[in-house]
Amino acid sequence: PVAPPQVPLSASRAEGFADLVQDSVERLERRWPQLAEVDFLILEVPRLTSEDEAWGADAVPLGGTVPAGDGTPARVVVYRRPVEIRTKGRDERAALVHDVVVEQVAEVLGLTPETVDPRYGDGEE
C-alpha cells in the first residue's frame, strides 16, 4: 500500500531486514574486529535439496556460512523469508536475526555463540 503524501514511506521489508542484519554485524564488529574481513549476505530463501525437504519445515535453515578460500572471504548468509515467517513484530525479528548472525559468526570464528555474544539466546536485542 502507498502512504498518503503527508506520511513518509516506510522502508520496505527487505530494507528493514537488511538494517537489522547490519545492526547485529556492527554490534559484533566492535567486539570482533576480524569480522570486517567477512562478507554478510541476505538471501530470500535457502536452496533446499530433496534431503532437506524430507525433514520438513523445521529443517529450513535461517542462516549459513561459506568458508574463506582461494582469495575469497568467509561469508555469512541470513535467509530473510524463513526468519520473517518465524517472528511476529520487529523486536522479535531483531532478536532472531541477531541470534542467527551470532550463530553463523561463531561458525566462521570457530567459537561458541555464547563466546561471540554473551547475551546470545536471551531473546533481547
At 58 the pLDDT is 61
Range of the domain at 20: 13-116
Has residue 38 been placed in a domain?
yes
Has residue 122 been placed in a domain?
no
> For residue 11, is pLDDT > 90?
no
At 12 the pLDDT is 86
Has residue 82 been placed in a domain?
yes
Q: Which amino acid is at 67?
A: P
At 83 the pLDDT is 97
Q: Per-residue pLDDT averaged across 84-90, rounded?
A: 95
Instruction: Give the other-Cβ count within 10 Å of 114's Cβ.
Output: 12
> For residue 20, is pLDDT > 70?
yes
At 96 the pLDDT is 97
Has residue 1 been placed in a domain?
no
What are residue 73's phi and psi, to 5 degrees?
-75, 160
Q: Which amino acid is at 89?
A: G
Q: Per-residue pLDDT averaged across 100-117, rounded?
A: 97
Structure-model confidence comparison of residues 19 and 59, the more confident one: 19
* 85: helix, strand or coil: helix
Angle at 26 between CA 111 and CA 11, to 5 degrees: 130
> For residue 109, is pLDDT > 80?
yes
Q: Look up the CATH number of the domain holding residue 43.
A: 3.30.2010.20
Cross-strand bridge partners of residue 77? 41, 64
Q: Per-residue pLDDT averaged across 44-59, rounded?
A: 68
Has residue 121 been placed in a domain?
no
Has residue 8 been placed in a domain?
no
Domain count, the chain: 1
